[in-house]
Amino acid sequence: MKLLVFAHRGEAQAFFNEWELVPVEYYFTGLFKNKNSYLLTTGEGPKDASEKTVAVLSSFKNEITELINIGIAGSLTSKLSVGDIAWVRSSYAQNAERSEFKSYTTKNHTNIDCITAFSRVASKEDRKTLSAFADIVDRELWSIASAGHLFKIETSALKLISDNADSVDMCKLVKDEAPAMSKKLFLEFQKYESKIAAVKPVKLVVKTDSIEDYFLHHPKFYFTTSQMRKLSTVLRGLSLKKIVSDVDLKKIANEIIEANANEKTSKELSKIFLNDLSERLNPLNTKIKEKINQSLKPLLDSGASVSFDPELEQEYIQINYQVRNTKDQKRLQLALEQFNYQKIKDIFAGNLGNDV
């Protein structure tokens, strides 16, 4: 469902005329619905637009997938004349003397930017200030786009130039022209709808997603939640680096399954598979870790548990060893004598040997 947001009923008049919209019983008036869309009229200004859009998105967020602000705007540039119509690119805002730093980029756009003024443009000086930031000025879009951003709903805005933002008296004029303007907005919106409908629904198949699904649903694998995240990251990485094809990924998985199927659980197989993929994605890291582990061998052979910074950023090792008798003590002493910390230092200094 789309949520179409208008400031004034006049701007939405053609939509009421053409569609069978029924009022939705809600906390405030102005919300209507037909089978494809919600239509909301908020009243003028960013405060009402923000409050009402947030409220409706909050209540109907499971149904609403697209947010569109439709309405009139004043032109701040000579490149746009009264009657021109445009999908907005970026939305900015001006609150009194201050520009709001945040901006929102909309989904379907031309190269027209809009600035939402928190108060009506009352002077040529106001117009000049606003024109530095955008091509058109309205009173609501930034608030509506902000609400869309909050709910992670794609937002776009269709604006019809009603005036040149140079006179406060234009309100009456706009009121008089409302039916014609609304009709124009409706026709442009219909064009947009037809364009969307004309594009054959193509199921977007993201390569990594499809292969990800394949492994997630593979009967021999069981991925825990964190492993699922890791799988997604690693597959995305392999795809970006174009290291392994999907066919090869399946081969790798089959080889792991064949080699381990009888002795490993599905969870263990997933772990082996993920480690294999990580090694392919970051072979240098794997070599570094192998080298560290080789250096730690005397300690590990003594039964000590040894860890190092998993991020490979801080140079240290941590030894955990339980001494229960003098034999344990001697074993540790021997291991420490055989262990050469300089090798760890060398690895952290980037001296990785000739085989890298």
Task: Report if residue 242 touches another protein, rule: CB under 8 A.
Answer: yes
Task: Report if residue 150 touches another protein, rule: CB under 8 A.
Answer: no
Q: Residue 31 is inside which H or E element, if any?
A: strand 31-33
Contact yes or no for 104/149 (Cβ under 8 A): yes
Shortest CB 201 distance to another protein, Å: 24
Contacting residue, 29, 105, 245, 318, with another protein by CB under 8 A:
105
Q: Could you give phi then psi for residue 232, rounded to 5 degrees?
A: -60, -45
| Per-residue b or e along 171-183, where b marks 16 or more CB atoms closer than 10 Å to that residue's CB | eeebeebbeebbe
CA distance 91 to 74: 14
Residue 58 vs 294, nearer CB to another protein: 294
Q: Interhelix angle for 283-295 vs 266-281, to 10°? A: 110
Residues in the chain: 356
Task: Report if residue 321 touches another protein, rule: CB under 8 A.
Answer: no
Q: Residue 223, Cα to own-chain centre: how many angstroms?
A: 24
Stretch that binds another protein, among 16-24, 38-46, 98-106, 146-154 (CB under 8 A): 98-106
Task: Report if residue 232 touches another protein, rule: CB under 8 A.
Answer: no
Contact yes or no for 155/104 (Cβ under 8 A): yes
Binding-site size for another protein (CB under 8 A) equals 42
Residue 72 neighbours by CB distance under 10 Å: 27
Task: Report if residue 155 touches another protein, rule: CB under 8 A.
Answer: no
DSSP state of 202: -
CA distance 335 to 338: 5
Shortest CB 215 distance to another protein, Å: 18
CA distance 239 to 225: 21
Task: Report if residue 113 touches another protein, rule: CB under 8 A.
Answer: yes
Contact yes or no for 47/116 (Cβ under 8 A): no
CA distance 340 to 253: 38
| 345 Cβ contact partners less than 8 Å away, ≥ 6 residues apart | 315
Sketch the per residue contact string, 264 through 283, with another protein: x for CB under 8 A, - otherwise.
-----------------xxx
Contacting residue, 18, 84, 100, 188, with another protein by CB under 8 A:
100
Residue 334 vs 356, nearer CB to another protein: 356
Task: Report if residue 315 touches another protein, rule: CB under 8 A.
Answer: yes
Task: Report if residue 311 touches another protein, rule: CB under 8 A.
Answer: yes
Sketch the per residue contact string, 73 through 92, with another protein: x for CB under 8 A, - otherwise.
----xxx---------xx-x
Shortest CB 285 distance to another protein, Å: 6
Shortest CB 287 distance to another protein, Å: 9
Stretch that binds another protein, among 44-52, 171-179, 247-255, 312-320 (CB under 8 A): 312-320
User: Which residues of this protein are in contact with another protein, per CB under 8 A?
Assistant: 77-79, 89-90, 92-93, 99-103, 105, 111, 113, 128, 131-133, 236-238, 240-242, 281-285, 288, 311-313, 315, 347-352, 356
